[in-house]
Structure 1
Amino acid sequence: MNKVFLWPLLLAMLFMYLVDRKSISNAPAVNRWVSRVLYVISIGIWIYGTSTKSSIYVATWVARFIDMWLPSTL
């Protein structure tokens, strides 16, 4: 794994969480859960992207997943 790229991301995510923690704690429970899950997912995507040499990237999977809910006119 390329830790040179992992540490700045983890530090940026920690900084963002520390900055947003007051608004996250004041949010409804569902929003708190969603925001924390998004933080974890983004870290997981970054770790996967930096640790594999696969030609299929997570962004491709996410785009196909999102396309299922978008209307075809967009």
Structure 2
Amino acid sequence: MKYEIIEREAFQVVGIKEKLSCATKETDAFIPKLWSKANNDGTIDSLAQLINGQNQGLLGITDNYQEAENVMGYWIATE
């Protein structure tokens, strides 16, 4: 997988967010299933129409890790 880490100032995103339970048997399959569902139901196409920032693509974002519950948020979003 080819990737690049870029440091930037804060920016806003719009997208869908789901709660992801960490360290379970289902965790590894959760993200690909979410992307597949978003692709099949038209969410990806809708988000692609909203791209209006420096990043000209879709983002997979994790946020708000809650150690006590071992969960975090996972976004499919665009800038």
Scaled by the length of structure 1, the TM-score of the pair is 0.33
Answer with 1 or 2: which has the greater Rg: 1
Scaled by the length of structure 2, the TM-score of the pair is 0.32
Which of the pair is proportionally richer in helix? 1
